[in-house]
Chains A and B, each alone.
Chain A
Amino acid sequence: MSAVLFFIAGFGTIAGAVGVVVLRDPFYSVLALVAHLISLAVLFLLLRAEFVAAAQVVVYAGAVMVLYVFVVAYVGGSGAGLSGDEPLGGVSGLGSSASSLRLGGAIAGGAVLIELLIALLGTGLKAVGGYGAAYAPGPRTFGTPAYIGNLLLTRFLLAFEAASFLLLIAAVGAVVLAGRRGGPEDDEEEHRLTSLDLIRPQGTGTTAEGVGGPRR
């Protein structure tokens, strides 16, 4: 049973990864990555990592992929400024055609694969060929949320706090990077005086003031 499930999930994982690399439309690549992530969560479950599998589905296949889909829809929606992804077209100015780039990529990937297989499977560890350590199901055993939470708040408290701080920094950085600066299109937009502007004191919250635009 577990062998059948492993082969189904493993096939899904590898097929999803191939889809991400091969598919031409970035939107389909994102969908292939979602399939890959869900198959990978099944593999995590087979490895008795229940909490990691749940976090994978919720955080990755849920939240992060929604972010990707939004950005693909935003960037790929209008054709302006988007040259697309055409693996067959010549690479401009690089002096090498795209086909040789693909050949080089395949050679490099094959070399990395062979090296990883030698490193992982040719290792001296006898336990690699085994089925893992002894496992007894229970509410607080290996891989359950209680076990992971206990480890995170005792032995790995520093890593936990560092990760939370890193998330905060990343959120601030994303807002700084993607936020509009200078207000919305100052030069094109003619300022029309409305009756509301006469009774409204300065500095009280229009959107243009909020982003540092012209004060009205």
Chain B
Amino acid sequence: MSIAWYLAVSAIVFSLGVVGVITRRNPLVVLLCLELMLNGANLSLVAFSRMWGNGDGQILALIVMTVAACEVCIGLGMIVAIYRRRLPIDVDELRELQG
């Protein structure tokens, strides 16, 4: 398949992630949708890397995966901390900064 097909798939995955981040209210699912957006970007990076026959895009995809792992680590830690303080796990009710 030509590179354009892969790019189309990556665009669809990214916009599905955008829809999820906007509509879902559970922060766990919001984190999952962030993963979707990062994966869409990763797919386009690898596709462009294949297009030029150059490995730089794959290295960037690996770094993006590392950053995503860090983000998951911190995000899940925050969710566990929220749960420990008996706060509602809902992004709409957590919109105030006061503890």
Q: Which residues of A contact B (CB under 8 A)?
A: 2-3, 6, 10, 13-14, 17-18, 20-21, 26, 29-30, 33, 36-37, 40, 43-44, 46-49, 51-52, 55-56, 59-60, 63-64, 67-68, 71-72, 74-75, 80-87, 91-94, 101-102, 104-106, 108-110, 112-113, 116-117, 120-121, 125, 127-135, 142-143, 147-148, 151-152, 156, 159, 163, 166-167, 169-171, 173-178, 180
Chain A interface SS verdict (over half): helix
Contacts of B86 in A (CB 8 A): 80-81
Pairwise interchain contact B39-A75, C-beta atoms closer than 8 A = no
Contacts of B72 in A (CB 8 A): 64, 67-68
Pairwise interchain contact B92-A148, C-beta atoms closer than 8 A = no
Pairwise interchain contact B51-A104, C-beta atoms closer than 8 A = no
The complex places the Cα of A130 from the Cα of B65 at a distance, in Å, of 27
Q: List 11 A-B contacts (CB under 8 A).
A: A14-B9, A20-B29, A33-B32, A47-B47, A59-B69, A87-B23, A93-B92, A105-B23, A120-B7, A170-B69, A174-B74
The complex places the Cα of A43 from the Cα of B43 at a distance, in Å, of 8
Chain B interface SS verdict (over half): helix
Contact check: which of B22, B58, B68 meets A105 at CB < 8 Å?
B22
